[in-house]
Amino acid sequence: MLEIIDISKSFGSIEALSRISFSVAKGEIIAILGPSGCGKSTLLSITAGLIGPDTGMIRWNGVSLTNVPPHLRNFGLMFQDNALFPHRNVFGNVAFGLKQLQMKPEAIDKQVSAILNIVGMRDLADRDVLSLSGGEQQRVALARTIAPNPRLLMLDEPLGSLDRNLREQLLHELRQILTDLEQTVIYVTHDQDEAFAIADRVVIMNTGKLIQIGRPRDIYAHPASTFVARFLGLTNILETSVVSVDTNNRVKISENSLIPISQPPPKHMKHPRILIRPRGAQLSEHGTLSGILTNVSFRGALVDLKIIVSNGLQLRFEVPTPSIIPKIGTKINLTLPEDASIWIEDDSL
Amino acid sequence: MIKVSNKTSKIFRPEYALLWTIPLAFLTLFYFYPLATILGKSLVGINNFSQLLDLVRQPYVAKTLWFTIWQATLSTILTLAIGLPGAYLLAHYNFWGKNILRAITAIPFVLPTVVVAASFTSTLGPNGWINRALMNWLNLETAPIILNHTLWAILIAHVFYNTTIILRLVGDYWTLMDPKLIQAARCLGATRLKAFLGITLPLLTPAIVSAALLVFIFDFTSFGVILILGGPIFSTLEVAIYRQTINFFDLEMAALLSVIQLMCTLGLTVLYARFTRKTHRPLKTNRLPSISRQQLNWKTRISVGILIAILIIVLVVPLITLAFSSVFKFEPDRGERENASTGFTLKYYRELFINRRHSIFFVTPIETIIFSLRNATITMISALAIGLPTTWILARKTRLAQMLEPILMLPLGTSAVTLGLGFLLVFSRSPFNMRTSSLLIPLAHTLVAFPFVVRSLLPSWTIINPQLRKAAAMLGANPIQVWREIDLPIIGRAILVAGAFAFTISIGEFGATILLSRPEFTTVPMAIYRYLSLPGALNYGQAMALSTLLMIFCGTSIFCIEAIRPNAISEF
């Protein structure tokens, strides 16, 4: 088990990491999700031992790694942009870590072909790495990182530079490979779809701080703050000055649009806001929420609807694609589930 | 890159043929004809190959060739020993004053060879600051460190001269290397040493080899340093050519040595070009890395400090001691009483205008300065006059241009002393007797500067896309307007750079000048050379004063060239 305990790190006056603590269980895939510059890569470098933290420590199975140099940690780190060795071919790159283990050449040959087979690059062992496509380079980098059988695998934006289609395809392959290998993984990304698709648990970071940690569906259901909500694309965030909550625990969005809210604002929230989740809404003539449709985007089984309610608020909902999609400019009514709205802390202030 | 088809250039145009005649006529008369004369001289009475081999096997020739290679090899190794850690320092660490250090360390490389000899003398010579300090400190009567006329003097001067090449070529390349490659190796279980040997070193090798080859070429063809600091004992091919010509009048031997020299430098230049191409292999798959912002621990701080100190001692201190020596008097002049003054003085600069009766010269130092400036101006004008049409037709990339380009670049592989010898052989007799003409020196300088002028001008001509001219013409510009609005602004900077190069090269040129100069035609480097070889505090001080002036001039000029150069890539 990996434990990251109270890690802080500053570069000059910039605080890159501030008291980060969490742990990763054996075989667990953890995704660290956050915008660029939030300190994700620095945290990986500290875990790998490439740079030292200002405070805190990294422990593996209860043993501190503070004085263990990177080459003795047996942690694999796959770099953003892959960092393939340009003067070695595919085989030479994948074999590099095995050579450091003083393995016999025959054993290395065998292991490299086995790994290249896993990543689907068996026939390209003799290729110059600079002649490979982006997706192929990514596979070689993955093969190189997992070849020495690291006890922890860290992936830094592994799909970052690839185009959308290739990313989705490789993401599923990657998930398959990682679960097959029963690897303990930290996966760093700025893309929430990637994080949610691959991870058992997600760590959300912003400006060097850990904002929320939890299972993807829990985070989606209960984002810890407006930052998390906006990062996940949940943009229906309402100021309490714009809307009012009546005594029956119902949010009054406009004259005849009432939405139930689960509870009164929790006491610990300094700046409570109301979040209306876009998912679960249904088009219905008797819906309690009505507005003018301003935008429709078709996403297969779902459509994204943007509406303006009577007091000028703009809201977005995802509804199951109806047989007849309403026209822009018409008035529509929506039914929302009972738990559609929750209280949320505004941390942007 | 988009290939612009340029059909019009394929059509034969008589005016282009006329343009060709300018560089070809100049090179034929002033380069190929002298070179052919040297070849003819060296092959007098040679009928077959074995006779030629016997000529090369003569003990004198073999000994000279061997020493040339030996000292160049040693110098290159020492230069690498200082330059590689320096390159690492500049590529990996940010420290206060880094840009200043980088700029100042470029100066030794552009100094005229006599100034290098003078700054060595001012630092480590018998009257140099180090010996003075040791004599004062230990109460010695004579200088404790005698390096003049030893191999060490040559090696140290070469290291001072050429370390910049390693710093720039290897350092710049090293900066481009992605630090993630090393981090990746470390995470894959490699120790620091293994990561260096397995990743850093193989990636740097092409840059190191090509930089080392360049240093070797400069050390191989070194002339002034060996002539002045090596004394009569040491002779490289260059020095031997000079001595055979001037001291022994053995023109056949001089010609033979020149041919050997030419073969060697051409071979080395081809090798260098091949390795330089290899450094164009990308060091990374994408993206520029930045120098790490890591805070340094005290161990690293100390090593960085030591590396900076070494660079300053080797490359900056000699420049400072030279300047100090020109304004500092150590001992009373001849004829002065014992209470005569020592210490700070501007005397040596005032003396530049005075012709002392005991001076063996016919001219005062200030007159040599005027003569040098005149030469440089003529060189600049003639080099541009030949360089501009040459590069214009080369840039058109016709088949004829591709065939003739290597021929036009040949003077680059020819040493200055060889050029001087060729001039001496051809222009001191009819039909081209110019021995007494003061134009001979600037003409030789033009040949020395010509390849540099071509290399400065050519890229600008090639970047002027013919589409630009057509676009301007379509917008209603007449040919003169096209030239003024499109060609001139782009080529203008290149002309400035090329002119500054030609001027600076001429001011500092020594190898060809020493063979061609006459007492009434003395340039500044010649005057420094003579002052350095004469005894007495006044001569020493004047050598320092003139050298300091040259150092300031060349330093300023290279800063200006770097500043106005279209794209500031360090290239040699």
Q: pTM of the full predicted structure?
A: 0.81
Q: What are the φ and ψ backbone dihedral angles of B418, each rounded to 5 degrees?
A: -60, -45
Distance, in angstroms, between B294 CA and closest chain A CA?
7
Residues of A with Cβ-Cβ distance to B188 under 8 angstroms: 71, 76, 96-97, 100, 144-145, 148
Contact (CB, 8 A) for B88 and B200: no
Distance, in angstroms, between A36 CA and closest chain B CA?
16
Q: Residue A202 burial by CB count (10 A; 0-12/13-18/19+): exposed, middle or buried?
A: buried
pLDDT given for residue A200 in this prediction = 93
- A124 with A155, same domain: the answer is yes
Q: Does A70 touch chain B (CB under 8 A)?
A: yes
Contact (CB, 8 A) for A185 and A174: no
> Which residues span the domain enclosing A109?
2-231
Q: Does B287 touch chain A (CB under 8 A)?
A: yes
Lowest-confidence region among A74-83, A250-259, B224-233: A250-259
Whether residue B183 and residue A79 make contact (CB cut-off 8 A), yes or no, is: yes
Say whether the ipTM exceeds 0.90.
no
Whether residue B283 and residue A137 make contact (CB cut-off 8 A), yes or no, is: no
Whose tokens are 């301007």? That residue is B472
Q: Does A12 touch chain B (CB under 8 A)?
A: yes
What is the SS3 assignment for B420-435? HHHHHHHHCCCCCCCC
Chain B: residue nearest A84 by CA? B181
Give the Cα separation of B474 and B456 in Å (integer). 30
Closest Cβ opposite residue B189 in set A12, A82, A148 = A148
- The DSSP symbol for B28 reads I
Whether residue A85 and residue B199 make contact (CB cut-off 8 A), yes or no, is: yes
Interface of B with A in 15-44 (CB under 8 A): none
Give the Cα separation of B441 and B518 in Å (integer). 10
Q: Give the three-state DSSP class for B188.
A: coil
Whether residue B190 and residue A82 make contact (CB cut-off 8 A), yes or no, is: no
Whether residue A70 and residue B187 make contact (CB cut-off 8 A), yes or no, is: yes
User: What is the enclosing helix (H) or strand (E) of A15?
Assistant: strand A14-24
Arithmetic mean of pLDDT over chain A: 88
Whether residue A84 and residue B286 make contact (CB cut-off 8 A), yes or no, is: no
pLDDT given for residue B13 in this prediction = 63
Give the Cα separation of B52 and B256 in Å (integer). 10
Whether residue B186 and residue A100 make contact (CB cut-off 8 A), yes or no, is: no
What's chain B's length in residues? 572
Whether residue B189 and residue A74 make contact (CB cut-off 8 A), yes or no, is: yes
Of B238, B209, B216, B231, which Cα lies nearest the Cα of B161?
B216
Alpha-helical runs (H) found in B221-352: 224-229, 237-246, 251-278, 298-311, 317-325, 347-350
Q: Does A96 touch chain B (CB under 8 A)?
A: yes
Whether residue B286 and residue A76 make contact (CB cut-off 8 A), yes or no, is: no
- A65 with A148, same domain: the answer is yes
Closest Cβ opposite residue A71 in set B189, B283, B285 = B189
Structure tokens at B330: 């150590």
Closest Cβ opposite residue B185 in set A69, A72, A96 = A96
Contact (CB, 8 A) for B116 and B108: yes
Structure tokens at A145: 């990182």
- Edge to edge, what strands does the sheet with A331-335 contain? A282-283, A331-335, A289-299, A302-308, A314-320
Q: What is the CATH number of the domain that holds A108?
A: 3.40.50.300
Question: Which one has a higher pLDDT value, B500 or A165?
Answer: B500
Query: In the listed set A162, A196, A231, which residue is the last one of a domain according to the structure?
Result: A231
Query: In the listed set A210, A231, A252, which residue is the last one of a domain according to the structure?
Result: A231
Contact (CB, 8 A) for B508 and B562: no
- A207 with A297, same domain: the answer is no
| A184 band by pLDDT with thresholds 50, 70 and 90 | very high
Whether residue A70 and residue B286 make contact (CB cut-off 8 A), yes or no, is: no
Q: Does B184 touch chain A (CB under 8 A)?
A: yes
Closest Cβ opposite residue A71 in set B180, B190, B287 = B190
pLDDT given for residue A90 in this prediction = 94
- A66 with A161, same domain: the answer is yes
User: What is the enclosing helix (H) or strand (E) of B344?
Assistant: strand B343-344
Residues of B with Cβ-Cβ distance to A12 under 8 angstroms: 293
Which residues make Cβ contacts (< 8 Å) with residue A139, sequence separation at least 6?
A119, A120, A121, A170
Chain A: residue nearest B278 by CA? A87
Q: Residue B11 burial by CB count (10 A; 0-12/13-18/19+): exposed, middle or buried?
A: exposed
- A224 with A242, same domain: the answer is no
Give the Cα separation of B530 and B543 in Å (integer). 8
- A167 with A76, same domain: the answer is yes
Give, in degrees to the nearest 5, the angle at Cα B337 between B331 and B338: 60
Give the Cα separation of B331 and B334 in Å (integer). 9
User: What is the enclosing helix (H) or strand (E) of A292?
Assistant: strand A289-299
- A182 with A162, same domain: the answer is yes
- The DSSP symbol for B3 reads P
- A24 with A81, same domain: the answer is yes
Closest Cβ opposite residue B181 in set A83, A100, A161 = A83
Dihedral sign, Cα of residue B297, residue B299, residue B300, residue B302: positive
- A254 with A190, same domain: the answer is no
Q: Which residues pair with A304 in a beta bridge?
A: A297, A318
- A244 with A279, same domain: the answer is yes
Chain A: residue nearest B204 by CA? A87
Q: What is the CATH number of the domain that holds A264?
A: 2.40.50.140
Distances (CA, A) of B6 to B468, B480, B482: 13, 21, 18
Whether residue B181 and residue A82 make contact (CB cut-off 8 A), yes or no, is: no
Closest Cβ opposite residue A96 in set B188, B284, B294 = B188
pLDDT given for residue B341 in this prediction = 59
Q: Does B284 touch chain A (CB under 8 A)?
A: yes
Residues of B with Cβ-Cβ distance to A74 under 8 angstroms: 189
- Tens digits of per-residue pLDDT, A111-157? 999 999 888 888 888 998 888 988 889 889 999 999 999 999 999 98
Size of interface A-B (CB pairs under 8 A): 78
Distance, in angstroms, between A114 CA and closest chain B CA?
18
Give, in degrees to the nearest 5, the angle at Cα A35 between A31 and A37: 105
Dihedral sign, Cα of residue A70, residue A74, residue A75, residue A78: positive
Whether residue B183 and residue A50 make contact (CB cut-off 8 A), yes or no, is: yes
Mutation target for A interface from B187, B193, B208, B280: give the one with most A CBs within 10 A.
B187
Alpha-helical runs (H) found in B280-316: 298-311
What is the SS3 assignment for B438-485? CCHHHHHHHHHHHHHHHHHHHHHHHHCCHHHHHHHHHCCCCHHHHHHH
Give the Cα separation of A211 and A209 in Å (integer). 6
Mutation target for A interface from B285, B286, B292: give the one with most A CBs within 10 A.
B285
Query: In the listed set A187, A206, A231, which residue is the last one of a domain according to the structure?
Result: A231
Whose tokens are 């050598």? That residue is B543
Number of domains within chain A: 2
How would CATH label the architecture of B61-284+293-325?
A: Orthogonal Bundle (1.10)
Distance of CA A58 to the CA centre of its chain: 22
Whether residue A75 and residue B187 make contact (CB cut-off 8 A), yes or no, is: yes
Structure tokens at A257: 């649009």
Domain borders along chain B are 61-284+293-325, 365-566
Give the Cα separation of A344 and A341 in Å (integer). 9
Fold agreement between B61-284+293-325 and B365-566: yes
Bond from prior residue into A264 cis (ω within 30 degrees of 0): no
- A225 with A241, same domain: the answer is no
- Edge to edge, what strands does the sheet with A2-11 contain? A14-24, A2-11, A55-60, A63-64
How would CATH label the architecture of B365-566?
A: Orthogonal Bundle (1.10)
Give the Cα separation of A292 and A296 in Å (integer). 12
Give the Cα separation of B170 and B279 in Å (integer). 10
Per-residue pLDDT tens, chain B, 572 aa: give them: 344 444 444 455 666 777 778 888 888 888 889 988 888 888 776 767 777 777 777 888 989 999 999 999 999 999 999 999 999 998 888 888 888 888 888 889 889 999 999 999 888 888 888 888 888 888 888 878 888 888 999 999 999 999 999 998 898 888 888 888 999 999 999 999 999 999 999 989 988 998 999 999 999 999 999 999 988 889 999 999 999 988 888 888 888 899 898 888 888 888 887 777 766 555 544 444 444 555 667 888 898 899 999 999 989 999 999 988 888 877 655 555 454 556 777 778 887 777 665 555 557 888 889 999 999 999 999 999 999 888 888 877 777 777 777 777 677 778 889 999 999 888 877 777 777 788 889 999 999 998 888 888 888 877 776 677 777 777 777 777 777 777 777 788 889 989 998 999 999 999 999 988 887 788 999 999 988 888 888 888 888 999 999 999 998 988 888 787 765 444 44
Half-sphere exposure of A63 (CA within 13 A, CB side): 5
CB atoms within 10 A of CB B14: 7
- A102 with A211, same domain: the answer is yes
CB atoms within 10 A of CB B139: 7
